[in-house]
A and B are shown apart, each in its own frame.
Chain A
């Protein structure tokens, strides 16, 4: 079969797959295309045809090996057990710290009520101390936001594994983000605002209040 005819058949089949799958091609379908291409190579073969044949055979073997290796990693298990479990654990941490912080705040508010009836000097001292406790309780908000970022990252990994499982011939639950779009992990807020929603930065990278003040004042 002339090479150009093979190219046309191959292109037609690939277009069919693209249209039916929205750009995602399953490994099985690639194998099918390669196999049909090999089957089409009948009659007198030129040296060029043979080179293509050898390369396609190599490609098919590579795909089979990759598929076997990925299957051994049991991506469905990673998705269903490890990631799911890690997300649950992190959610539990947020709930536990929130609950503990509220217990602390209950106690501090009770101390403030007692302080209100105490002599002025003691009241003042207790007020300073309770202020410090309120300030320290900021941690819950910050750690909560950090953990939420990690949970979203895990969700993103889960989506990628879902795509991998789909490529291996498994079934998917959720559609993946279209090419060129940011994954759902990053997207909420108004148009053009997504890049501004980063949550807390690590201590070494974060601007301190003095940096914020200097930047803020530079507008005046």
Chain B
């Protein structure tokens, strides 16, 4: 089944510049329907109010981190199936393990390039 590029994508990062960069990279990949949140709690609110096809989240945010957001998403029966990619500077093995155990769909370490973003999105959503 082809990837629906009109799906809503939620990007979560406390650096507004980073949100802008990811939004533009997604736009270049053909994903135009992008919403933004600057922390986990704001993201959770958006996720509970509309259907999203993908979450791309930073880890290190306050007050709710990306890992906490991931756990909340996976614990919510209505949201638990939403693909969730962590994009973070946290590159320690224990971080990857913790994210994987919490149910992350894929993991991108910053700084990243557009090809890596596309590859990881494809592995989660299917080729596009």
Contact = CB atoms under 8 A, between A and B. Distances in A.
Contacts of A130: 24, 28
Interface in B86-125: 89-98, 100, 106-114, 116
A134 B60 contact: no
Interface stretch (A14-22, A28-36, A101-109): A101-109
Contacts of A211: 91, 93
A2 to B, nearest CB: 57
Contacts of B67: 189-190, 193, 196
A145 interface: yes
A142 B13 CA distance: 12
B111 A138 contact: yes
Interface in B60-98: 60, 62-63, 65, 67-68, 71, 89-98
A142 B110 contact: yes
B128 interface: no
B17 A137 contact: yes
Contact of B114 (A98, A101, A135, A216): A135
Contacts of B110: 138, 141-142, 200
A198 B21 contact: no
Q: Which 9 A/B pairs are nearest by Cβ-Cβ distance?
A: A138-B111, A200-B89, A207-B91, A141-B18, A135-B113, A206-B91, A189-B65, A131-B114, A141-B15
11 contacts: A105-B21, A134-B24, A138-B110, A140-B17, A190-B71, A196-B92, A200-B91, A208-B109, A212-B96, A215-B96, A215-B97
